[in-house]
Structure 1
Amino acid sequence: MSPTDDAAEKGVPVAPPRLRRVLDLAARRIMPQIDSGPGWSNVETASAEGAFVIPTALSAEFEVARYEGLGLGDGDVVLPVCPVSFRDFMLFEKHAIDAARGLARRFVPAGYRVGQLYETLTRRTFPAFRPNALWYRQPIYYMSNALTVVPSGTPVGFPTYSRALDFELELGVVLSVPLRDASVEEAAAAIGAVVVVNDFSARDVQLAEMRSGFGPQRSKHFISSMSATAVSGVAVADRLDRLTATVSINGNTLAHTGTSDMRYSIAEAIAHVSRSEQLYPGELFATGTLPGGSGMELGRWLAPGDELRLEIDGIGVIEHLIR
């Protein structure tokens, strides 16, 4: 059996013969359906646990360019869902605190030592390591680049302007219907697909950008990645906050984590975004990094030659060779 046949047998979407049919994004899993309006075409993605429909406005020509730009051809793994936008939340307080400690440890060592002393003496979290006050009042997020999301298996290199490449294991969901001023229940029902997301980050660049007061830019937008498989929202709706996950590098498991202890549920976060804002099918929302789901928290920074594996049980796997 060829690698392509083996991937298809496992339900992983692969580029079909003749890359110019890539609009299908893998005939075994995604099939064009009835046109739903100018510029839109529905695609139905079947999984072992159900089916979901994600309309997409991305053209066949654009998808060809995306995959050819990555050097992908016939038989290579492609995205199960091509998002039309990407919002990334920060829903886990433990990640926010531990990541702040890790960032300070590497880039602001004097501040890290002050924080350590404070926490040792008071047995309380150093205030500078805690999220901004707004985080405790509402879900916060930033807009990332939906056009630079790549599939699992794509080799990833350091951006030319960074020496601190990091990974971030996250849970992602994709809308299947439009939303506006949605209730939490309506937001939950609108989740069509669930995927694993990896928000690559250039940490040395991120620190300066966050200090600018204008949020992350080149530290985040250069690349993100997604699992090769997706699960229908209905299939996992009752356990989105109880999924388990692991982080491994070079075959060594570095962290066991999961989606429990979110400050806000995914549905609450989506409902918040929809207030007086129109949301569309195909938009991707990620939880932000699961606790212990980044190298900055673990003290394990990526290096060329590393083999990264991020997995959320029952959802999917992301794997990359770091160049």
Structure 2
Amino acid sequence: MRLLTFERHGAVRLGVLAHDRSVIDVAERDGRPEFQSMQALIEAGPAALADLRALADSPGPTLAPGSVRWLAPLPRPAQMRDFLVFEEHMRTAGWNGAKLRAKWGGPSAPPEPQPIPPVWYEQPIYYKCNRFAVAGPGACVKWPNYSSVIDYELEIACVIGASGRDISENDAPKHIFGYTIFNDLTARDAQFKEMQGPLGPAKGKDFDNANILGPVIVTADAVDVGNLAMRAKVNGELWSEGSSSTMHWSFAQMIVHVSRSETLYPGEILGSGTVGGGCGLELGRFLKDGDEVTLEVEGIGAVSARIDAPHVQERLSL
């Protein structure tokens, strides 16, 4: 199933995207508590999901998709973690980051990408995102005034459906509720400055509407994330192409790592990190005021956001 959260007449509702692409207002058909929000549905478990599937397959009224305001499918995640599991991104982004810092007067960049730290191959690496900075399809992102280097990041995210601790790799897929698209917007100049600490990222990632999710959550039984085409377009122009098949660490392995001596809860989100070639830093060019960024992932859909940055009128490049 393809699940969404939308707003209509001032009320936030749980929806199902029907086969004809119309929207089923779930609570309008069945007002039980577990159908009042995406989080309530996730927490209710497999039985509630099976009941929702039966409801969605039955006849009933639907809404035109353009008649509602689409929100992030999980507007307030229980927690957010973003990983770094694509080797090409790890290599190229680090090298281009060094070149960008050199352009700003920092140390000279090495002539070629440097070896990836051994720890990256030993365990999945992640940081915790600001779960209050989530926005959905069509969001306008007012860029922070402390930054002039505007970047997107093309990612997939999994949504945790069942709690667990010390989860095995074989059991990990049972804990995944579904998948969505994640645009991890980044203020690169702020990120590079603060991570010299070394700590972070912090204000390079944490600002209002920085975490774009959507357009739907596709339930885990309806998509195989092992080999999905991933694309990013800016104002309709293709900038990035990649594939989920190039992940070095799987979502199951991420779950194993996070759940070591720590409980994962329903409604948590784990981002994949940026696919190789999936951000402006790797391409050597960045966004500017008015740009519309659209991320597309095969089997999930497309989610767009517009940049509002009147102080950035020119496109910075390496």
**Conserved? CA contact 2:160–2:176, under 8 Å:** yes
Task: Give, as a single letter, the amino acid of the residue that structure 1 aligns with 2:218.
Answer: V
Structure 1 residue 126 and structure 2 residue 114: aligned? yes
**Conserved? CA contact 1:33–1:42, under 8 Å:** no
Secondary structure of 1:80's match? coil
1:42 Cα deviation (Å)?
2.3
Match of 2:98 in 1: 104
**Conserved? CA contact 2:232–2:294, under 8 Å:** yes
Task: Give, as a single letter, the amino acid of the residue that structure 1 aligns with 2:154.
Answer: L
User: More strand per residue: 1 or 2?
Assistant: 2
Match of 2:316 in 1: none
* Pair 1:304–1:252, CA change in 2 (3 A): same
Residue of 42, 60, 85 corresponding to 2:40: 42
* Pair 1:52–1:201, CA change in 2 (3 A): farther
Residue of 274, 279, 284 corresponding to 2:264: 279
Secondary structure of 1:221's match? coil
Secondary structure of 1:156's match? strand
1:33 Cα deviation (Å)?
4.3
Distance (whole Å) between structure 2 residues aligned to residue 203 and residue 282 of structure 1:
28
Secondary structure of 1:260's match? helix
Secondary structure of 1:218's match? coil
Secondary structure of 2:290's match? coil
1:300 Cα deviation (Å)?
2.2
Structure 1 residue 180 and structure 2 residue 149: aligned? no
Distance (whole Å) between structure 2 residues aligned to residue 44 and residue 143 of structure 1:
21
Match of 2:79 in 1: 85
Structure 1 residue 231 and structure 2 residue 221: aligned? no
Percent of aligned pairs with the same residue? 34
* Pair 1:221–1:191, CA change in 2 (3 A): same
Secondary structure of 2:181's match? strand
Task: Give, as a single letter, the amino acid of the residue that structure 1 aligns with 2:102.
Answer: V
**Conserved? CA contact 2:3–2:15, under 8 Å:** no
* Pair 1:180–1:215, CA change in 2 (3 A): same
Offset from partner CA, 1:7-62 (integer Å, 9 cap, x none) = xxx97643122x2x32x344826546456xxxx972269xxxxx5899xxxxxxxx
**Conserved? CA contact 2:99–2:109, under 8 Å:** no
Aligned length: 272
Q: For structure 2, list consecutive stretches of 5 or more residues without a partner in the other structure.
A: 17-23, 44-48, 53-66, 309-318
Structure 1 residue 205 and structure 2 residue 190: aligned? yes
Distance (whole Å) between structure 2 residues aligned to residue 211 and residue 14 of structure 1:
40
Offset from partner CA, 1:149-197 (integer Å, 9 cap, x none) = 1002011121111111111010001011111110112211111020000
Match of 1:147 in 2: 132
Offset from partner CA, 1:259-304 (integer Å, 9 cap, x none) = 1122211111111110110110000000000111111111220100
TM-score by length of 2: 0.78
Secondary structure of 2:71's match? coil
Secondary structure of 1:276's match? coil
Secondary structure of 2:82's match? strand
Task: Give, as a single letter, the amino acid of the residue that structure 2 aligns with 1:96.
Answer: M
Distance (whole Å) between structure 2 residues aligned to residue 53 and residue 145 of structure 1:
32
* Pair 1:137–1:243, CA change in 2 (3 A): same
| Ranges of 4+ aligned residues in structure 1 off by more than 3 Å | 10-13, 29-35, 51-54, 109-114
1:144 Cα deviation (Å)?
0.5
Task: Give, as a single letter, the amino acid of the residue that structure 2 aligns with 1:209.
Answer: E
Match of 1:67 in 2: none
TM-score by length of 1: 0.77
User: More helix per residue: 1 or 2?
Assistant: 1
Distance (whole Å) between structure 1 residues aligned to residue 154 and residue 51 of structure 2:
25
**Conserved? CA contact 2:280–2:286, under 8 Å:** yes
Residue of 6, 9, 29 corresponding to 1:14: 6
**Conserved? CA contact 2:230–2:298, under 8 Å:** yes
Q: For structure 1, list consecutive stretches of 5 or more residues without a partner in the other structure.
A: 1-9, 46-50, 55-73, 120-124
Task: Give, as a single letter, the amino acid of the residue that structure 1 aligns with 2:167.
Answer: A
1:212 Cα deviation (Å)?
0.7
Query: What are the equivalent positions in structure 2 for 1:55-66 lying under 5 Å apart?
Result: none
Give me the CA root mean square deviation. Answer: 2.7
Structure 1 residue 115 and structure 2 residue 115: aligned? no
Residue of 88, 92, 106 corresponding to 1:94: 88
Match of 2:252 in 1: 267
